[in-house]
Amino acid sequence: MGNPTQGTPALEMLDVTRRFAATGGRSLRQGQNARAGQLVVLDRINLQITAGKFVAVLGPSGSGKSTMLALMAGLDRPSEGQVRVEGREIQRLGEDELARLRRRRIGFVFQSFQLLGNLTALENVMLPLEMLGRKKARSGATEILERVGLAERINHYPSQLSGGEQQRVAMARAFGPEPPILLADEPTGNLDASTGRTILDLLLELRDAHKTTMVLVTHDPKVADLAQMRIHLEAGRVVRTENAEGSSRPQDGKSAEHEASNRARVEPADEPDAVEVSR
């Protein structure tokens, strides 16, 4: 299966709610998101993200950003609602099917790199290619490592690389299989400003080259400003969306139209860290 046609939905969330049992049997979140004995991390989220677009998700810590990514990746399951990847309802899939879907269709870039310490940079990038049965895994991994500027570091282990170099390896690993969808959780969060900007530029360059749908979680408005659409989360709800031109659409549920849809449609364009997005 190739990349989805530009303009068709790559990711959808339909009335998605995610709850967890609250510590001590009490709700940790007050107000409209409170449920007796439960922590509501995401509350009736509706999103449609168009194939090939770059979308940034912003919000304070605890707003639901990382849980949203986990649900999109099938690393977690919604308490209510549907999550669709390229039209397929993934919450109904078994673990083996989800693993195959992630391997073939979804790439990940994490704040903490998530490299395997006993493998070299080259071996880390080769691994997902080998799992897909690619015959030229070594040459493919070497080529993309060269593209991210690590031609001289391919035989180094993660402990021998700087933070910026480790993130370059992580990006090469994510893009190596050429997934149509990339999920990035604070990819520059552990880096200094200069290194972070370099990494972000590389990430966007690779995204443009592969025409990848990218959803990036960030606290940084300057990073989000580069996206074609920005989705703002607060207390587990989408409160505002903005397109690349800066126009915004509030989603406060005050009008009948907003209450009926509560939608953030991406057109041409941590929650509590209760769920950690990891492979």
Q: Which domains does the chain have, with CATH numbers?
A: 9-266 (3.40.50.300)
Can you tell me the mean pLDDT for 251-261? 41
Query: Who's near 45: CB < 8 A, 6+ residues apart?
Result: 13, 15, 16, 17, 64, 68, 81, 236, 237, 238, 262
- Range of lowest pLDDT (19-28, 77-86, 227-236): 19-28
- Range of lowest pLDDT (18-27, 188-197, 222-231, 262-271): 262-271
Can you tell me the mean pLDDT for 59-67? 90
pTM: 0.79
pLDDT category, 258, cuts 50, 70, 90?
A: very low
Q: What's the burial of 195, exposed, middle or buried (CB within 10 Å: 0-12/13-18/19+)?
A: middle
pLDDT category, 250, cuts 50, 70, 90?
A: low
- Range of lowest pLDDT (7-16, 223-232, 270-279): 270-279
pLDDT of residue 44: 95
Can you tell me the mean pLDDT for 181-201? 87
The gap between the terminal CA atoms of the chain, to the nearest Å, is 22
* Both tokens assigned to 79: 């308490």
